[in-house]
């Protein structure tokens, strides 16, 4: 009887352990489901070694904004400019990010060196709410806008791209590039979603994030601007490796 009782206890413990493993797996599945596809893609990105770009790329990197310092936005490119204003940071995709809402001052960076016929730029964004259409980023050449229908789109002179949907409270990435002869491409979460020929470039020297009275609550993070047309591999490497390292 004693051996039978011990065997029953052992079976009970094994059953309890299996149930616990199933519950933990289900919870983990919920967490994975809530993680944005873009962030999951970044975390799983294995194609590249994720080493820093070669020195030649740094000469084309004109503006780098990590938004890690409250009240001060520091450009960590080799030009190293900064702007002091009433900015607020919040949790970003990597360390801190810039909080955009209707009361925060807009963050603007102005420099003639940004003007280039060929360029590549990218940043991550996480939208909490949109009560009226507003913009995340605006330059003289383009604006990256979000709508109440939970879509993001890019507006160029005389044309607007398709809508790309996003889930609130999830991280997404948008990258935009133009070559010297007018080919403009848009990448959304690492996928090439738009290719436009013969865009007319205007002088582009001012990068503005958000605005007072903007009817959105969102966070932007890890902005980079190159004065060159990157290859698609370079775009993906910069997007996904930049937040893993």
- pLDDT 10s digits, 6-39: 666 656 666 666 565 444 444 343 333 334 566 6
The continuous run of DSSP H or E covering 15 comes out as: helix 2-34
Instruction: Quote the pLDDT of residue 84.
Output: 45
The encoded tokens of residue 111 equal: 């420099």
Instruction: Quote the pLDDT of residue 61.
Output: 82
Euclidean distance between CA atoms 77 and 224, whole angstroms: 9
Instruction: Quote the pLDDT of residue 85.
Output: 53
The encoded tokens of residue 213 equal: 């009275």
Instruction: Quote the pLDDT of residue 58.
Output: 60
What are the sequence ranges of the domains in the chain?
A: 2-34, 43-244
Euclidean distance between CA atoms 176 and 155, whole angstroms: 11
Q: Tell me the percentage of the chain whose pLDDT exceeds 70.
A: 64
Largest CA distance in the chain: 89
Instruction: Quote the pLDDT of residue 157.
Output: 85
Nearest to 124 by CA among 136, 109, 110: 136
Q: Is 1's pLDDT higher than 50?
A: no
DSSP reduced 3-state for 116:
coil
Angle at alpha carbon of residue 56, lines to 191 and 202, rounded to 5°: 60
Contact 125, 154 (CB under 8 A): no
The CATH number of the domain covering residues in 43-244: 2.60.120.200
Instruction: Quote the pLDDT of residue 200.
Output: 80
Contact 210, 130 (CB under 8 A): no
Instruction: Quote the pLDDT of residue 38.
Output: 64
Euclidean distance between CA atoms 76 and 188, whole angstroms: 24
The per-residue pLDDT for range 179-220, each reduced to its tens digit, is: 988 899 999 988 999 999 877 877 888 888 887 677 899 999
Mean pLDDT, rounded, for 34-63: 57
Q: Is 239's pLDDT higher than 50?
A: yes
Instruction: Quote the pLDDT of residue 155.
Output: 93
Average pLDDT value for the chain: 75
Number of C-beta neighbours around residue 202 at 10 A? 12
Q: Which residues contact 102 (CB under 8 A, 6 or more apart)?
A: 212, 213, 214, 215, 216
Contact 177, 235 (CB under 8 A): yes
In SS3 terms, 24-37 reads as: HHHHHHHHHHHCCH
Q: Is 92's pLDDT higher than 80?
A: yes
Instruction: Quote the pLDDT of residue 230.
Output: 87
């Amino acid at each position: 009887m004693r051996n039978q009782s011990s065997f029953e206890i052992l079976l009970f413990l094994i059953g309890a352990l299996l149930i616990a493993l199933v519950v933990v797996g289900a919870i983990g599945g919920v967490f994975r489901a809530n993680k944005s596809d873009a962030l999951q893609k970044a975390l799983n990105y294995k194609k590249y070694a994720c080493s820093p770009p070669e020195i030649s790329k740094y000469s084309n990197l004109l503006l780098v904004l990590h938004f890690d310092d409250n009240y001060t936005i520091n450009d960590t490119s080799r030009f190293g400019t900064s702007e002091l204003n009433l900015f607020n940071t919040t949790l970003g995709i990597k360390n801190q990010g810039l909080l955009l809402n209707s009361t925060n001052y807009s963050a603007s960076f102005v420099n003639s060196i940004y003007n280039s016929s060929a360029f590549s730029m990218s940043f991550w964004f996480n939208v909490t709410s949109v009560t009226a259409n507003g913009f995340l980023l605006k330059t003289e050449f383009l604006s990256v806008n979000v709508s109440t229908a939970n879509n993001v789109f890019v507006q160029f002179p005389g044309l607007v791209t398709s809508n790309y949907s996003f889930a609130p409270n999830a991280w997404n990435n948008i990258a935009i590039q133009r070559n010297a002869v007018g080919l403009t491409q848009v990448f959304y979460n690492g996928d090439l979603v738009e290719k436009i020929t013969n865009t007319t470039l205007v002088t582009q020297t001012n990068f503005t994030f958000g605005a007072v009275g903007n009817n959105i609550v969102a966070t932007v993070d890890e902005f980079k601007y190159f004065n060159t047309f990157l290859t698609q591999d370079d775009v993906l490497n910069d997007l996904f490796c930049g937040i893993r390292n």
